[in-house]
């Protein structure tokens, strides 16, 4: 089916996307904006496939992708800084429509001979955009004046004859411009953020009306394409060893691979000793029982905890866990025999946060299945979900017929409770955290908050506090409760949950999790924090 060709499969061991039909790609070139991932989210919400690549992606690769449109992101740099990132001029001559956002607009304008300067009055925050001329970007937007979000310190002061203004703001005389042929456009504001109410319409208009995309990239199309690609990659005899973590991502990936190759998939669930309470038993019930997918459970808790002994640095923890996972999988593959591929539930945010590849943004943390992998592996990776965001994975899971108990599970980090214990990981500290965490899960479920919250969990802090229980003084551990709301995990806001629920959590944890005498609630959003503590 033609629409199925909009999904793309990741090259083994690489981050590029390859496909027999790459002419349906909207290419986002990243200049380091904090909002680049939001651009991708908005484009995909318009049911159009897109990819993020660095602004300096080789022109040969861009031409080979045959993009239907290119979006240039914003960025923190100023055009007047030494070494400010720039675009190869050939990119603007690829032949497809180009939309520059904020810094991306300056790049386009500069290449065409516009004069830019540091703004006499910088513009950050809400602003009023006045649409001066009809344009495909603003089709369907009735009011001439629109509230938009600005974040810039430069502005265009004069434009050449090749450009014409189509909108302005109080601060920017050229808040939106286009070339006379309509192939290149630039906008000063950020359409990708929620603070620009018309932004989704603007981006949707660009990819559908300007670039000619049909807007039919759907979970059903994705599933059909992935099944065909997995079969082609693995072959008629190949076997896949799938690492299950118990979360949504690896579960959906496993069912997708099983649908493609059947019993040539062997799932391995590693009991790392870092699991939530009852997780091992749940996986055995769901996969070996209900789904009838071959499952081996490997108890490697002694190995993992032994290697984590004395380790305090979060990044070191993640790398130890990632390397140990692969070691266990490779050993299991040899025991099973014939497995050449390792399946993983890697998602797009894992790649973005783990590897400084998709542009000049910095590495945030290594995910156990990305940055934590050994450089040399004996198993080839199969990662059918690596171009997707979490909500897209859930949609794929529903398309595959998986139940809500799998698809709607809250995300759980691959390194497990190791990244929810700040400081050294020991069996004693794990047991204490499990008791507290089970209470959080029970109370959140009883309150009916599962659909509202992205994640809710307990964190064991590396400090003790003085307390009083009965008539005696205590000096015991502190538990932090973390509950956030999010759509894809790239950004998150702390949840304003009922104080009565917080009171129940505090009361139960201090009474039932022996060794804890103080509970605190984390009210930090992402950014500046991450969702997990480590």
Active site residue 102: yes
Task: Please tell me if the domain spanning 25-210 has the same topology as the one spanning 219-407.
Answer: yes
**pLDDT (0 to 100) of residue 38:** 86
Q: Is 119 left (phi over 0), alpha (psi -120 to 50) or beta?
A: beta
Instruction: Give the bridge partners for 263, in sequence order.
Output: none
Which among 8, 53, 152, 190 is annotated as catalytic? Answer: 190
Is 316 catalytic? The answer is no
Report which of 494, 420, 419, 412 is spatially closest to residue 453, judged by C-alpha positions: 494
Helices then strands, each counted (H, E), the chain = 14, 20
Contacts 24+ apart (CB under 8 A), 257-261: 257/230, 257/343, 257/382, 257/384, 258/291, 258/293, 259/227, 259/400, 260/226, 260/227, 260/230, 260/231, 260/234, 261/230, 261/231, 261/234
310 backbone φψ class: left, alpha, beta (φ>0; ψ -120 to 50)? left
190 an active-site residue? yes
In this structure, what token pair is assigned to residue 131?
A: 């649409």
Q: Which pLDDT score is estimated for 352? A: 61
HEC readout, 218-267:
CHHHHHHHHHHHHHHHHCCCCEEEEEECCCHHHHHHHHHHHHHHHHHEEE
pLDDT tens for the chain, residues 1 to 534? 223 222 322 233 223 333 333 446 899 999 988 788 889 889 988 999 888 889 999 999 999 999 999 999 998 887 777 788 999 999 999 999 999 999 999 999 989 988 766 555 566 678 899 999 999 999 999 899 999 988 766 778 889 899 999 999 988 899 999 999 999 999 999 999 888 999 999 999 999 999 999 888 888 888 888 899 999 999 999 999 888 877 889 899 999 999 999 999 999 888 999 999 988 898 888 888 888 898 989 999 999 999 999 999 999 999 999 899 888 877 877 777 778 888 888 887 776 655 443 444 444 444 444 434 444 456 788 999 887 888 889 999 999 989 888 888 888 888 899 999 999 999 999 999 999 999 999 999 999 998 899 999 999 999 999 998 877 889 999 999 999 998 777 778 999 999 999 999 999 999 999 999 999 999 999 988 999 999
Q: Which fold, 421-521?
A: GMP Synthetase; Chain A, domain 3 (3.30.300)
User: Which structure tokens are listed for 68?
Assistant: 């239907």
**CA–CA separation, 187 and 152 (whole Å):** 12
Q: What is the pLDDT of residue 165?
A: 94
> Helix (H, G, I), strand (E, B), or coil: what is residue 162?
coil
Pair of tokens at residue 512: 């039932």
∠160-161-167 over CA atoms, to 5°?
80
The confidence score (pLDDT) of residue 469 equals 82
Tell me the whole-structure pTM to 2 decimals.
Answer: 0.69
Among 50, 51, 96, 102, the one annotated catalytic:
102
Q: Please state which CATH class domain 25-210 belongs to.
A: alpha beta
Of 51, 123, 192, 383, the active-site residue reads 192
pLDDT value of residue 322: 87
Let me know: does 185 contact 97? Beta carbons within 8 Å.
yes
User: What's the pLDDT score for residue 331?
Assistant: 82
Q: 187 forms bridges with which residues in the sheet?
A: 101, 176
**Closest alpha carbon to 119 in 73, 166, 79:** 79
Which architecture, in CATH terms, is 219-407? Answer: 3-Layer(aba) Sandwich (3.40)
User: Which sequence spans correspond to the domains of the chain?
Assistant: 25-210, 219-407, 421-521
Give residue for tokens 């400084």.
356
> Residue 263 burial (CB < 10 Å; 0-12/13-18/19+)?
exposed
DSSP type of residue 114: -
pLDDT number for residue 32: 86
Alpha-carbon gap, residue 222 to 399, rounded angstroms? 10
């Amino acid at each position: 089916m033609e629409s199925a060709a909009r999904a793309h499969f990741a090259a083994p061991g690489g981050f590029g996307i390859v496909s027999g039909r790459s002419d349906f790609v909207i290419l986002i070139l990243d200049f380091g904006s904090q909002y680049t991932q939001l651009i991708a989210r908005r484009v995909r919400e318009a049911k159009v496939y897109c990819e993020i690549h660095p602004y300096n992606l080789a022109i040969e690769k861009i031409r080979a992708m045959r993009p239907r449109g290119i979006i240039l992101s914003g960025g923190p740099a100023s055009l007047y800084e030494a070494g400010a990132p720039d675009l190869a001029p050939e990119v603007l001559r690829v032949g497809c429509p180009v939309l520059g956002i904020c810094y991306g607009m300056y790049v386009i304008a500069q290449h065409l001979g516009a004069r830019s300067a540091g703004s006499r009055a910088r513009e950050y925050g809400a602003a009023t955009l006045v649409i001066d001329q009809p344009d495909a970007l603003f089709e369907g937007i009735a009011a001439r004046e629109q509230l938009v979000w600005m974040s810039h310190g430069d502005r265009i002061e004069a434009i050449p004859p090749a450009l014409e203004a189509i909108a302005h703001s109080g601060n920017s005389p050229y808040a939106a411009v286009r070339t006379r042929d309509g192939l290149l456009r630039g906008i000063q504001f950020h359409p990708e953020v929620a603070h620009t109410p018309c932004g989704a319409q603007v981006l949707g208009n660009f990819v559908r009306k300007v670039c000619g995309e049909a807007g039919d990239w759907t979970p059903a199309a994705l599933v059909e394409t992935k099944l065909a690609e997995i079969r082609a990659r693995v072959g008629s005899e190949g076997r896949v060893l799938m690492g299950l973590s118990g979360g949504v991502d690896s579960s959906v990936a496993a069912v997708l691979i099983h649908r493609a190759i059947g019993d040539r998939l062997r799932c391995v669930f590693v009991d790392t000793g870092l699991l939530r309470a009852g997780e091992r038993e749940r996986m055995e019930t769901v996969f070996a029982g209900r789904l009838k997918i071959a499952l081996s459970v490997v108890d490697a808790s002694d190995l993992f905890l032994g290697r984590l002994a004395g380790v305090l640095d979060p990044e070191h923890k993640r790398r130890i866990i990632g390397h140990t996972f692969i070691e266990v999988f490779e050993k299991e593959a040899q025991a099973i025999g014939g497995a050449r591929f390792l399946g993983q539930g890697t998602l797009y945010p894992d790649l973005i946060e783990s590897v400084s590849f998709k542009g000049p943004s910095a590495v945030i943390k290594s995910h156990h299945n990305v940055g934590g992998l050994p450089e040399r592996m004996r198993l080839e990776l199969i990662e059918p979900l690596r171009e997707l965001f979490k909500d897209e994975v859930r949609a794929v899971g529903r398309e595959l017929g998986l139940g809500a108990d799998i698809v709607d599970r809250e995300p759980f980090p691959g390194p497990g409770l190791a990244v929810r214990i700040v400081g050294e990981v020991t069996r004693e500290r794990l047991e204490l955290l499990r008791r507290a965490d089970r209470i959080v899960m029970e109370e959140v479920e009883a309150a009916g908050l599962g659909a509202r919250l992205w994640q809710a969990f307990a964190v064991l802090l590396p400090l003790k506090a003085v307390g009083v229980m009965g008539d005696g003084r205590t000096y015991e551990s502190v538990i932090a409760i973390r509950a956030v709301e999010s759509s894809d995990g790239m950004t998150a806001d702390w949840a304003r949950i009922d104080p009565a629920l917080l009171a129940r959590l505090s009361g139960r944890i201090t009474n039932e999790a022996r060794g804890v005498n103080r509970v605190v609630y984390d009210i930090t959003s992402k950014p500046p924090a991450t969702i997990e503590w480590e």
